[in-house]
């Protein structure tokens, strides 16, 4: 546990160093108002990374989050066009996202297909469905009501609602993972699925639950995304699923399952968010941004590998392994 | 005749365990030597010494009279020692020819692999052992018996002089076993020295020329098979000095708790029926693969028996999953602690409360204080040595991990506890603690089933012993009939003294 805390502290430190470096070139970046902007800009990534982290905890992966977001976002925009009120659109988006996640979950649980294959398939299918229901047409800003677009940007106690929603998700997820039986089951299933079975935990059902949560959060983000950018089309958030996975990996979530924390996933997302927002203002080309994010991923994984290498008592371990 | 391979005074220790102490073993060309001993006698360890996987702490290895060392597996192979394991270590996705030649494939002039020579060589080797296999077949398309043939052909391809067969017939059908015997005869006629490890007396007397017996890591005897009887071998295997102290037991045996009748499974077991009483320790003895664990997993709801009924406290219970079993009061502490027991990476307290989460929650939220209380209660009873209860289980020693697993199950307040090989691979001190605790559990009125392959443990701890062989219950002993000879004979399928 203390080890995990350590690496989160290390990541926080890395973010501070990064901010410090940026400040030497552009002091305005660390102004509180600008940091709030960066946080708000990173909110969708944080929400999705939390969902993804739960899925990865159970030894699975959800590549369909961005496509899920695009589909639920489009459906939200269409519902808005039909005059459905926002109080119905928001829950509907979350439910639709959860249902799409359940499709992934059931295929993993009941059919036993590896999650990477399932979600690679559904990721394409979800985008295909958007094309089918829109014929490839865009829903533009002037076709959306003001209320629909305003919610994520509405200010509350100095922060936009979108930021507050991200904060709420962070708190709820921390509570659910730390203080509920299901949250504990996610860790157990990823940490040792064989042992989990013997303690009466249904591994498949737990994995399916993780996909439903990830889907619901993608649905929520779908509305936020479309409302904030005031546009919906087939390709929104294209390739964003990789940023989400990257945030998790940088945040110390073990791809082998069983290890990870909400704080880690959030810090991983913030790290990527700072890079994305800071590098343009200090005149570093977007290609360097990609190289830096990529290096961060490899560094994080290398750090994980070194940390988790068994220390001492190796003779006994190998003798026990027979 | 000079032995081709000779071991003298070989000792090997692991922390807390002396696996071999001063053993000797001679293997002669053109002869089959059977290595006989109970589980834990040191047979696997000696195989690992012979194949260069373990380095002995003391002792000498001589090949054709010249002293040598096997610092690596490659060195052992170069000296002509090869092992065919119970689960053959071959590559499923490669062809038969590639499996035979992997690592020493014939090369063409340009240093590339000479596929033609490889196929022809493979065909020649396979023919020499009477196997009609296509060298281009993928290994995964072959049955176990054919895989054995490939392994043997591979052994011949490196010009092995010593062939070690570790329970080669354990997973073979009757017909395949006969083919294997013929093959062993063929290898003998080619002058190979064969070390044959087996628990089955009929095959030892069928194919072995010589025997060597180990007991508790020590050499106890050797000789010609033609000069001994089965009873002599059994006596050598089990005759022991009492070196383990088992806790005194209060035998307060109460009412029947569990009754199992007519349990059947299509492949694993048949006709399983027994009763278990309050305060009783019921031992299940048998060879590895006799179906004991499979029966226990069925009781625990992990596998479904096709037929049969279970009564718990007189009530018919149907257990369809592990959580139903736990709710009914049956818990199963599995054998493979690493794979099935502790969740490494999770702290001790979260491991302990994992099956008891509903009991420690209120309104759907876990109560940490309650979790710690439960964990402290049971880990203290088990004398767990840990720095803190939120320490990662993976950092504990094997014995302490086992205690965490047992604490986890006790916390569910079970009626029946099934312990599968509870002391396998743990040091003597932890063993004694587990035994003492088992006695305490029974004294408190729990019904205990202990699956164990260690005869002293079975005899020292059980009130009654059920012996299983090939998926069936073949004998039940209690009182004075619980003797090592009876157990070994019943498990090996020999006639038992009335």
- Partner-chain contact B346 A181, CB within 8 Å: no
Mention every residue, 6+ apart, whose C-beta is less than 8 A from residue B246. Answer: B435, B456, B457, B460, B461
How far is it, in rounded angstroms, from Cα A136 to Cα B362?
A: 50
Mean of pLDDT values over B100-116: 83
Q: Residues of A with CB below 8 A from B321's CB? A: 200, 202
Give the best residue of B15, B302, B329, B340 to mutate against chain A (max A CB count within 10 A).
B340
Closest chain A C-alpha to B489 CA, distance in angstroms:
28
Q: Which of B345, B355, B368 lies at the smallest CB-CB distance from A191? A: B345
How far is it, in rounded angstroms, from Cα A45 to Cα A265?
A: 10
Task: Give the tens place of pLDDT for each residue, B52-74.
Answer: 888 999 999 999 988 998 988 88
Per-residue confidence (pLDDT) for residue A56, from 0 to 100: 96
Q: Which of B345, B357, B408 lies at the smallest CB-CB distance from A258? A: B345
Q: What rounded mean pLDDT belongs to chain A?
A: 88
Q: What rounded mean pLDDT belongs to chain B?
A: 85
Which has more pLDDT, B108 or B207?
B207
Task: Give the tens place of pLDDT for each residue, B370-389.
Answer: 899 999 998 888 788 777 88
Per-residue confidence (pLDDT) for residue A252, from 0 to 100: 87
Whole-complex ipTM: 0.76
Residue B348 parent element (H or E): helix B348-353
Closest chain A C-alpha to B305 CA, distance in angstroms:
17
Token code pair at residue B48: 């690992």
How far is it, in rounded angstroms, from Cα B418 to Cα B449?
A: 5
Per-residue confidence (pLDDT) for residue B171, from 0 to 100: 65
Task: Give the tens place of pLDDT for each residue, B168-187.
Answer: 776 677 777 788 888 888 88
Token code pair at residue B148: 């054995």
Closest chain B C-alpha to A175 CA, distance in angstroms:
9
Asked if residue A266 lies in contact with residue A46, where contact means CB atoms within 8 angstroms, the answer is: yes
Per-residue confidence (pLDDT) for residue B336, from 0 to 100: 65
Asked if residue B216 lies in contact with residue B37, where contact means CB atoms within 8 angstroms, the answer is: no
Token code pair at residue B380: 């203290």
Strand spans (E) along B64-192 = 66-68, 81-84, 162-166
- Partner-chain contact A198 B302, CB within 8 Å: yes
Task: Give the tens place of pLDDT for each residue, A195-204.
Answer: 888 888 899 9
- Partner-chain contact B344 A181, CB within 8 Å: no
- Partner-chain contact B390 A1, CB within 8 Å: yes
Look up residue B354 and give its DSSP letter: G
**How many beta-carbon pairs below 8 A join chains A and B?**
91
Give the best residue of A177, A195, A196, A258 to mutate against chain B (max B CB count within 10 A).
A195
Q: How confident is the model at residue B426 (pLDDT cuts 50, 70, 90)?
A: low
Task: Give the tens place of pLDDT for each residue, A42-64.
Answer: 999 999 999 999 999 999 999 99
- Partner-chain contact B365 A200, CB within 8 Å: no
Closest chain B C-alpha to A171 CA, distance in angstroms:
15
Q: Which of A180, A194, A315 lies at the smallest CB-CB distance from B339? A: A194
Per-residue confidence (pLDDT) for residue A314, from 0 to 100: 37
Q: A310-319 — which CB contacts under 8 Å span 24+ positions? A: A315/B14, A315/B15, A316/B14, A316/B15, A316/B398, A319/B14, A319/B15
Per-residue confidence (pLDDT) for residue A318, from 0 to 100: 37
Buried b (16+ CB within 10 A) or exposed e, A227-244: bbebbbbbebbeebbebb
How far is it, in rounded angstroms, from Cα B20 to Cα B7?
A: 12
Q: Which of B340, B361, B398 lies at the smallest CB-CB distance from A195? A: B340
Mean of pLDDT values over B456-462: 88
Mean of pLDDT values over B137-153: 83
Res A177 pLDDT > 50 = yes
Which has more pLDDT, B12 or B245?
B12
Mean of pLDDT values over B196-214: 88
Which has more pLDDT, B424 or B269?
B269
Q: Identify the closest residue of chain B to A194 by CA–CA distance.
A: B340
- Partner-chain contact B334 A196, CB within 8 Å: no
- Partner-chain contact B326 A197, CB within 8 Å: no
Buried b (16+ CB within 10 A) or exposed e, A67-81: bbbbbbbbbbbbbbe
Task: Give the tens place of pLDDT for each residue, B89-99.
Answer: 678 888 999 88
Token code pair at residue B389: 């209860």
Q: Other CB atoms closer than 10 Å to residue A301's CB: what's the count?
A: 15
Q: Does B388 touch chain A (CB under 8 A)?
A: no
Give the best residue of B300, B343, B361, B365 to mutate against chain A (max A CB count within 10 A).
B343
Res B87 pLDDT > 70 = no
Task: Give the tens place of pLDDT for each residue, A110-147.
Answer: 999 999 999 999 999 999 999 999 988 899 888 888 88
CA angle B218, B221, B225 (to 5 degrees): 140
Task: Give the tens place of pLDDT for each residue, B294-345.
Answer: 899 899 988 877 788 889 888 888 888 888 899 889 998 887 655 667 888 8
Q: Does B354 touch chain A (CB under 8 A)?
A: yes
How far is it, in rounded angstroms, from Cα B301 to Cα A201?
A: 12
Look up residue B6 and give its DSSP letter: E
**Listed residue (A127, A151, A139) closest to A79, CA to CA:** A139
Mean of pLDDT values over A153-161: 89
Q: Identify the closest residue of chain A to B300 by CA–CA distance.
A: A198
Closest chain B C-alpha to A159 CA, distance in angstroms:
30
Q: How confident is the model at residue A315 (pLDDT cuts 50, 70, 90)?
A: very low
Task: Give the tens place of pLDDT for each residue, B478-498.
Answer: 888 888 888 888 888 876 654
pTM of the predicted structure, to 2 decimals: 0.75
Q: Identify the closest residue of chain A to B390 by CA–CA distance.
A: A1
Q: Identify the closest residue of chain B to A175 by CA–CA distance.
A: B365
Task: Give the tens place of pLDDT for each residue, A230-272.
Answer: 999 989 998 899 999 999 998 989 888 888 999 999 999 999 9
Q: What's the helix, strand, coil split of chain B in %, to 5? A: 35, 25, 35
Mention every residue, 6+ apart, whose C-beta is less than 8 A from residue A200. Answer: B321, B322, B323, B324, B325, B326, B355
């Amino acid at each position: 546990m203390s080890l995990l805390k350590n690496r989160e502290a290390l990541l926080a430190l890395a973010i501070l160093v990064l901010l410090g470096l940026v400040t030497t070139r552009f002091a305005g970046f660390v102004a509180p108002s600008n940091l709030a902007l960066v946080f708000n800009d990173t909110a969708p990534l944080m929400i999705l990374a939390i969902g993804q982290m739960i899925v990865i905890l159970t030894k699975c992966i959800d590549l369909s989050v961005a496509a899920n977001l695009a589909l639920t976002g489009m459906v939200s925009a269409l519902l808005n066009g039909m005059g459905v009120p926002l109080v119905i659109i928001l829950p509907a988006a979350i439910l639709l996202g959860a249902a799409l996640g359940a499709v992934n979950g059931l295929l993993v649980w009941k059919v036993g297909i590896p999650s990477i294959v399932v979600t690679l398939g559904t990721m394409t299918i979800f985008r295909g469905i958007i094309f089918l229901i829109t014929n490839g047409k865009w829903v533009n800003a002037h076709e959306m009501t003001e209320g629909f677009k305003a919610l994520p940007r509405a200010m509350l106690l100095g922060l936009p609602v979108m930021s507050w929603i991200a904060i709420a998700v962070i708190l709820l997820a921390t509570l659910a993972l730390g203080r509920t039986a299901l949250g504990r089951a996610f860790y157990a299933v990823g940490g040792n699925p064989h042992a989990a079975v013997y303690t009466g935990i249904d591994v498949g059902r737990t994995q399916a639950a993780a996909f439903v949560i990830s889907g619901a959060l993608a649905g929520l983000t779908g509305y936020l995304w479309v409302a904030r950018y005031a546009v919906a089309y087939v390709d929104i958030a294209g390739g964003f699923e990789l940023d989400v996975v990257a945030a998790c990996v940088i945040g110390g979530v073990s791809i082998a399952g069983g290890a990870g924390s909400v704080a880690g996933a959030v810090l991983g997302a913030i790290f990527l968010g700072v890079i994305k927002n800071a590098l343009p203002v200090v005149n570093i080309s977007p290609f360097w941004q990609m190289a830096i994010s990529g290096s961060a991923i490899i560094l994080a994984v290398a750090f994980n590998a070194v940390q988790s290498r068994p220390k001492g008592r190796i003779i006994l371990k190998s003798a026990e392994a027979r | 005749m000079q032995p081709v391979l000779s071991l003298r005074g070989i000792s090997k220790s692991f922390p807390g365990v002396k696996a071999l102490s001063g053993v000797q073993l001679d293997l002669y060309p053109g002869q089959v030597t059977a290595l006989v001993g109970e589980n834990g006698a040191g047979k696997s360890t000696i195989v690992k010494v012979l194949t260069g996987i373990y380095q002995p702490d003391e002792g000498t290895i001589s090949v054709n009279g010249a002293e040598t060392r096997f610092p690596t597996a490659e060195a052992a192979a170069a000296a002509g020692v090869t092992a065919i394991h119970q689960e053959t270590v071959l590559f499923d996705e490669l062809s038969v020819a590639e499996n035979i030649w992997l690592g020493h494939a014939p090369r063409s002039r340009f240093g590339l692999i000479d596929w033609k020579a490889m196929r022809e060589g493979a065909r020649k080797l396979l023919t020499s052992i009477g196997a009609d296999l296509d060298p281009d077949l993928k290994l995964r398309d072959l049955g176990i018996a054919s895989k054995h043939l490939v392994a043997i052909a591979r052994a011949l391809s490196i010009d092995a002089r010593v062939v070690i067969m570790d329970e080669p017939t354990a997973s073979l059908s009757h017909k395949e076993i006969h083919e294997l015997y013929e093959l062993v005869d063929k290898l003998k006629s080619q002058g190979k020295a064969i070390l044959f490890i087996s628990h089955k007396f009929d095959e030892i007397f069928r194919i072995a020329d010589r025997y060597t017996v180990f007991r508790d890591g020590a050499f106890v005897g050797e000789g010609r098979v033609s000069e001994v009887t089965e009873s002599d071998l059994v006596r050598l295997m089990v005759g022991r000095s009492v070196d383990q102290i088992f806790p005194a037991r209060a035998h307060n045996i109460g009412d029947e708790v569990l009754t199992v009748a007519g349990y059947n499974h299509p492949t694993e077991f048949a006709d399983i029926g027994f009763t278990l009483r309050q305060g009783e320790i019921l031992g299940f003895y048998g060879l590895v693969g006799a179906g004991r664990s499979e029966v226990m997993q069925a009781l625990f709801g992990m596998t479904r028996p096709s037929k049969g009924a279970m009564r718990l406290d007189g009530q018919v219970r149907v257990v369809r999953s592990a959580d139903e079993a736990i709710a009914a009061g049956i818990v199963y502490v599995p054998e493979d602690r690493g794979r099935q027991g502790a969740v490494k990476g999770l702290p001790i307290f979260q491991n302990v409360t994992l099956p008891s989460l509903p009991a420690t929650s209120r309104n759907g939220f876990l109560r940490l204080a309650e979790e710690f209380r439960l964990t402290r209660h049971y880990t203290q009873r088990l004398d767990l040595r840990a720095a803190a209860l939120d320490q990662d289980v993976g950092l504990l020693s094997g014995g302490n991990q086992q205690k965490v697993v047992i604490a986890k199950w006790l916390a569910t307040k079970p009626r029946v506890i099934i312990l599968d090989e509870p002391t396998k691979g743990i040091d003597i001190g932890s063993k004694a603690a587990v035994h003492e605790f088992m006695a305490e559990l029974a004294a408190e009125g729990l019904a205990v089933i202990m699956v164990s392959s260690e005869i002293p443990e079975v005899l020292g701890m059980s009130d009654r012993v059920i012996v299983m062989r090939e998926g069936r219950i073949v004998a039940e002993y209690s009182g004075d009939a619980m003797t090592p000879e009876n157990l070994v004979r019943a498990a090996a399928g020999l006639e038992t003294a009335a």
